[in-house]
Structure 1
Amino acid sequence: MAEMVGPRLYSCCNCRNHVALHDDVISKSFQGRNGRAFLFSHAMNIVVGPKEDRQLMTGLHTVADVFCSDCRVVLGWKYERAYEETQKYKEGKFILEKSKIAKENW
């Protein structure tokens, strides 16, 4: 019988630093700057940059870029504030771009 290695997670494509758990994926149908992205409820081993207002496909949001804490590559962003009521569920959540993360323990 195969033994469980540990939780399925995502790591930085550049340095393999663990950045998110598969169990924290909310949606896989988001759009990042460079293509598809996943919405996560939590992220780890990241650095959150300065907040800025950004016009996204779903309206105006206050966001902060998130960087890998080891190699400092930009992985996506954190939603700090949504200005439209229908987008409030994103506040405090993280977008990680599919091209910037890799699966671990799958």
Structure 2
Amino acid sequence: MGELVGPRLYSCYKCKNHVSLHDDIISKEFQGRNGRAFLFSHVMNIVLGVKEDRQLMTGLHTVADIHCGDCHELLGWKYERAYDSTQKYKEGKFILEKSKIVKENW
């Protein structure tokens, strides 16, 4: 029987840089710029862009784009601030677009 070599990971689809753990997924029911996206509690090996206000499907948010720390591919964004009280749970959380990440150790 094959044993897992480590935790199940998500990596940048372009350069395979590890960007998050499967266990850090909060929800798979999000929408990104290019289709489905996942909400994560933590990410790693990324570079944050400039904070900006953006009108998203759920209202106005202050967000910062997330780029791969190695190849600088745009992977998603970080929720810095939610203006609607029902969206506050997203603050400090991260969106990674499903089309921009790949599974490893599955």
Same-fold status (TM-score > 0.5) = yes
Deviations 1:8-27 (A, max 9, x none): 01000000000000000000
Identity of aligned residues (%): 81
| Structure 1 residues 3-82: aligned runs within 5 Å | 3-82=3-82
Taking the aligned partners of 1:50 and 1:4, their CA distance within structure 2 comes to 37
Deviation at 1:5, TM superposition (A): 0.9
1:90 aligned residue: 90
Query: Partner amino acid for 1:7?
Result: P
Moved over 3 A (4+): none
Consecutive unaligned residues in structure 1, runs of 5 or more: none
Q: How many equivalent residue pairs?
A: 106
CA drift of 1:76 comes to: 0.1
Find the aligned partners of 1:11 and 1:104 in 2 and give their Cα distance: 7
Unaligned stretches of 5+ residues in structure 2 = none
Give the letter aligned to residue 50 of structure 1: V
The CA distance in 1 between the partners of 2:4 and 2:42, in whole Å, is 23
Q: What amino acid does structure 1 have at the position aligned with 2:16?
A: R
Deviation string 1:22-78 (CA, Å, 9 cap, x unpaired) is 000000010000000000000000000000000000000000000000000000000
Counterpart-to-counterpart distance in 2, 1:74 and 1:32: 12
Deviation at 1:3, TM superposition (A): 2.0
TM-score, L = length of structure 1: 0.98
Q: Distance in 1 between matches of 2:18 and 2:102?
A: 9
Q: CA shift at 1:2, angstroms?
A: 2.3
